[in-house]
Structure 1
């Protein structure tokens, strides 16, 4: 699909060509973009939907930006190596704030990014595993694996 802001050019982005899209092949990080890069609510902001889809497990975080009981499992690494463990304190020593509300709109600061990993069995959680795999067989669910999403 051509893009107006790219001088009406098409730029291929061969990612996520499987059921579940790019959520199945990314680095398993799960956080919202900062408010400085967000679009208006009427243009499809992710914020209203984010808290309802996840269940955050472990580490300190701001509970006002998360809920629990959603199908997407969000957790932190079971083992954090020293360079990662010292990340937030090193940046705090350099004058950067330590963030606990990653989905609160401010993403400039020190934080450890949560991952879309189910800590019960350490498997990736993504849109297909969260929303499709758990469904019973249904006659009204039709999946078109060769369809292109634009």
Structure 2
């Protein structure tokens, strides 16, 4: 129990106005259900892998393709407030070498810092970065 409390103190990355993004090129259907199952603390394997001790599920958004992959902008575009951060995420993913992705995880009001956690990716997702966002921005597909 003391370990979880210590991790919460060290890894508290909550920050208003910032969205942290992770993406995958792995076909969503091929990821085991266990990756998304929550433990007794309400955390799924993704959160545990990235040493995220807690987050508000209301601040999480995911989007992706049921099968295969799509151009990055097609997955980011419909997401909330994407007009304020979508291009930056798209450019960073493409800089990492991926033109198409299968799905995306967004955690709003959270500034994940892999330099502190030392975890940039797991077997299914890669951390893209933390980007400012505006709640007054629409989605790219609305504009």
Q: TM-score, normalised by structure 2?
A: 0.32
User: Which structure has greater helix proportion?
Assistant: 2
Identify, as 1 or 2, the structure richer in strand: 2
Higher relative contact order (CA 8 A, sep 6+): 2
